Amino acid sequence: MNSDADEQLLDQAVARGLRFLSRRARTVAEVRSKLEQSSTREEIAEAAILRISEMGYLDDQSYAVRFAEDRRHLDGWGNERIARRLSELGVERSFIEGALDDSDRQSELARAIAILEKRLSEPAVTTPDFRKAMGLLVRRGYDSEIAADAVRVHASQYG
């Protein structure tokens, strides 16, 4: 920083960023966007993001892991939907991949089957029912291979 005025602007930007983070965890891109909306100069915004990160309040890698865990367990989302949303939030691809590595195929298949058990009153044995069940899982972010396997396993449990 060049001057006392810049240091004061940095302190204000850090405070603004921390207030924004006080409501819920955010990504670096979200904080950057918020600071830009408040007409914070780019170099001040970047310095504020660095300071907030050093304080431990801003970490995209940890954010991605927590987000993936929450969406899997609370909302039943599949990896594709989680990855798409994290990307929309500005999280780096490597952090997204790291967050999704924790989920193996068997776990994702089990979650998909659990959704079908909860949402369907009977197994999807007819073609229209199969398509409906597939659509349910694909909209939740499960890839088509996992979704098809889940529908088949779910139907076989009743057979």
Q: What percent of the chain has pLDDT over 70?
A: 97
Question: 150-158 long-range contacts, Cβ below 8 Å, gap at least 24?
Answer: 150/109, 150/112, 150/113, 150/115, 150/116, 151/116, 151/124, 153/109, 153/113, 154/113, 154/116, 154/117, 154/120, 154/123, 154/124, 155/123, 155/124, 155/125, 155/130, 157/123, 158/122, 158/123
Domain range list for the chain: 4-58, 61-101, 105-156
CATH 1.10.10 given to domain 105-156: yes
Q: What's the pLDDT at 1?
A: 54
Q: What's the pLDDT at 102?
A: 57
- Tens digits of per-residue pLDDT, 88-110? 999 999 999 999 975 677 888 99
- Tens digits of per-residue pLDDT, 69-80? 999 989 989 999
- State pTM to two decimals: 0.80
- Tens digits of per-residue pLDDT, 15-35? 999 999 999 999 999 999 999
CATH 1.10.10 given to domain 4-58: yes
- Are both 4-58 and 105-156 of the same fold? yes
